[in-house]
């Protein structure tokens, strides 16, 4: 009796170990996966097989067909799905919604809902015929309590998913910025379009008003553009528009703001520019376009001219009124034989160059 008492007091750990090993040997045929299968699963990397395998006695291995829904956010049952064979898909919004990710062999799904005790946030569907290990939420938590290495694996898994989500978010933001940028660009000439004009011209005009800075606006129209379309076709007209836009950019300063206003019309805001300087820039544009030889798809060479109207900002101007003044001056330039420049002076006065 004394010996038995001493043994119990001095060797309890060894006695429990012998009992666990005995239980492991007794139930080895009942475990859902072998030690070899266990060791190749990412979620169980470096985890001692004997330390957690007993928890899996009541877990199951299921074989599911392609398209089988393993995790459904509308259902409250929480479980860890470990993929043994095949491939899984993760969908957000709905079963047929956006494909967010794939889960390869050795990976798992469902751990988030177990950790935060909330319903799953995505659908997990078998992409092919799959073999999966299903572990209940209580069993998963018990295994985590029993193995520090398993906890580290889950932390590693979660950090990877956070990084992946951040990457997807950054890519989405980049694509949104690209879409926004492209939506403000005229696809033919690569100049900004009217949508960009409404935002940027308004901003520039407010800045000029606030600081009482000089600002001029151009309206530019290609002379007899309809003749080009009628004679050579619309593809030839597109070539002319592209060449005019290129020459316009080459003739302006980096701070100037050219826009394809619509059809064969262009507008430009010229920050920090007086009427005298605007006249010089307008003449440079007119002369550069006049001397340019434009080769059409048919091989024909054409010369085109432009008429330009411009106006300088006044304190009462809005974007619409300033462009409207430049447009009135453009009308006068076109009425007086085209290929010339006209400055808006007042409601009843313009000055032709």
Within this chain, do residues 42 and 151 fall inside the same structural domain, yes or no? yes
- What is the band of 2 on the pLDDT scale with cuts at 50, 70, 90? very low
Is 23 part of a structural domain of the chain?
no
Is 258 part of a structural domain of the chain?
yes
Q: What is the DSSP string of 255-286?
A: T-EEEEEETTEEEEEEET--HHHHHHHHHHHH
Domain closes at, from 138, 170, 202: 170
Is 324 part of a structural domain of the chain?
yes
Can you tell me the distance from the alpha carbon of 119 to that of 112, in angstroms, rounded to the nearest whole number? Answer: 9
Q: Residue 283's domain is classified under what CATH number?
A: 3.30.70.270
Four-CA torsion 75, 80, 84, 86, nearest 10 degrees: 30
Rounded mean pLDDT, 207-226:
95
Within this chain, do residues 315 and 238 fall inside the same structural domain, yes or no? yes
Cβ atoms of 138 and 146 within 8 Å: the answer is no
Task: Name the percent of the chain lying above pLDDT 90.
Answer: 57
Is 298 part of a structural domain of the chain?
yes
| In the predicted structure, residue 306 carries a pLDDT above the cut 90 | yes
Is 1 part of a structural domain of the chain?
no
**Kind and range of the H or E run holding 17:** helix 12-27
pLDDT, position 166: 82
| In the predicted structure, residue 5 carries a pLDDT above the cut 70 | no
| Catalytic residue ranges | 264
Cβ atoms of 342 and 351 within 8 Å: the answer is yes
pLDDT, position 180: 67
Within this chain, do residues 160 and 42 fall inside the same structural domain, yes or no? yes
Domain that holds residue 225: 194-352
Domain count, the chain: 2
C-alpha 259, offset from chain centre: 26
Within this chain, do residues 210 and 348 fall inside the same structural domain, yes or no? yes
Q: Residue 65's domain is classified under what CATH number?
A: 2.60.120.10
Within this chain, do residues 119 and 75 fall inside the same structural domain, yes or no? yes
Mean pLDDT lowest among 98-102, 266-270, 339-343:
98-102
Within this chain, do residues 158 and 256 fall inside the same structural domain, yes or no? no
pLDDT, position 181: 67
Is 48 part of a structural domain of the chain?
yes
| In the predicted structure, residue 20 carries a pLDDT above the cut 70 | no
Is 338 part of a structural domain of the chain?
yes
| In the predicted structure, residue 28 carries a pLDDT above the cut 70 | no
Residues 162-210: pLDDT tens digits?
A: 887 788 778 777 766 766 666 789 999 999 999 899 889 999 999 999 9
pLDDT, position 158: 84
Rounded mean pLDDT, 321-337:
95
Within this chain, do residues 90 and 205 fall inside the same structural domain, yes or no? no
Within this chain, do residues 131 and 249 fall inside the same structural domain, yes or no? no
Can you tell me the distance from the alpha carbon of 191 to that of 184, in angstroms, rounded to the nearest whole number? Answer: 9
pLDDT, position 43: 87
Within this chain, do residues 56 and 166 fall inside the same structural domain, yes or no? yes
**Kind and range of the H or E run holding 349:** strand 349-352
Can you tell me the distance from the alpha carbon of 151 to that of 70, in angstroms, rounded to the nearest whole number? Answer: 23
Within this chain, do residues 146 and 205 fall inside the same structural domain, yes or no? no
Within this chain, do residues 132 and 262 fall inside the same structural domain, yes or no? no
Within this chain, do residues 49 and 101 fall inside the same structural domain, yes or no? yes
Is 155 part of a structural domain of the chain?
yes
Rounded mean pLDDT, 49-54:
86
Task: Name the percent of the chain lying above pLDDT 70.
Answer: 90
Domain closes at, from 170, 204, 221: 170
């Amino acid at each position: 009796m004394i010996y038995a008492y001493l043994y119990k007091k001095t060797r309890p750990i060894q006695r429990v170990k012998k009992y666990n090993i005995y239980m492991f040997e007794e139930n080895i045929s009942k475990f859902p996966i072998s030690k070899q299968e266990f060791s190749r699963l990412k979620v169980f990397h470096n985890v001692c097989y004997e330390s957690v395998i007993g928890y899996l006695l009541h877990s199951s291995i299921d074989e599911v067909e392609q398209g089988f829904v393993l995790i459904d956010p509308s259902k409250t049952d929480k479980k860890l799905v470990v993929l043994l064979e095949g491939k899984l898909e993760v969908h957000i919004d709905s079963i047929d919604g956006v494909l967010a990710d794939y889960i390869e062999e050795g990976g798992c799904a469902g751990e988030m809902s177990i950790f935060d005790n909330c319903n799953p946030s995505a659908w997990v569907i078998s992409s092919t015929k799959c073999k999966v290990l299903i572990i209940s939420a209580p069993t998963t938590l018990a295994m985590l309590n029993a193995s520090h290495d398993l906890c580290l694996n889950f932390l590693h898994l979660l950090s990877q998913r956070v990084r992946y989500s951040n990457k997807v978010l950054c890519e989405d933001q980049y694509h949104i910025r690209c879409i926004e940028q492209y939506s403000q660009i005229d696809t033919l000439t690569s100049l900004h379009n009217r949508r960009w004009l409404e935002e940027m011209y308004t901003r520039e005009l407010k800045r000029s008003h606030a600081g009482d800075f000089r600002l001029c606006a151009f309206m530019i129209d290609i002379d007899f553009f309809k003749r080009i379309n009628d004679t050579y076709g619309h593809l030839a007209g597109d070539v002319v528009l592209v060449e005019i836009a290129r020459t316009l950019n080459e003739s302006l300063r980096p701070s100037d703001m050219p826009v394809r206003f619509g059809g064969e019309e262009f507008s430009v805001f010229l920050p920090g520019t007086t009427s005298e300087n605007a006249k010089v820039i307008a003449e440079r544009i007119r002369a550069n376009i006049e001397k340019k030889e434009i080769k059409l798809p048919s091989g024909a060479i054409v010369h085109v001219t432009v008429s330009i109207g411009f106006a300088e900002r006044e304190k009462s101007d809005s974007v619409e009124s300033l462009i409207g003044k430049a447009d009135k001056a453009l009308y006068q330039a076109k009425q007086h034989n085209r290929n010339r420049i006209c400055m808006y002076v007042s409601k009843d006065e313009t000055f032709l160059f």
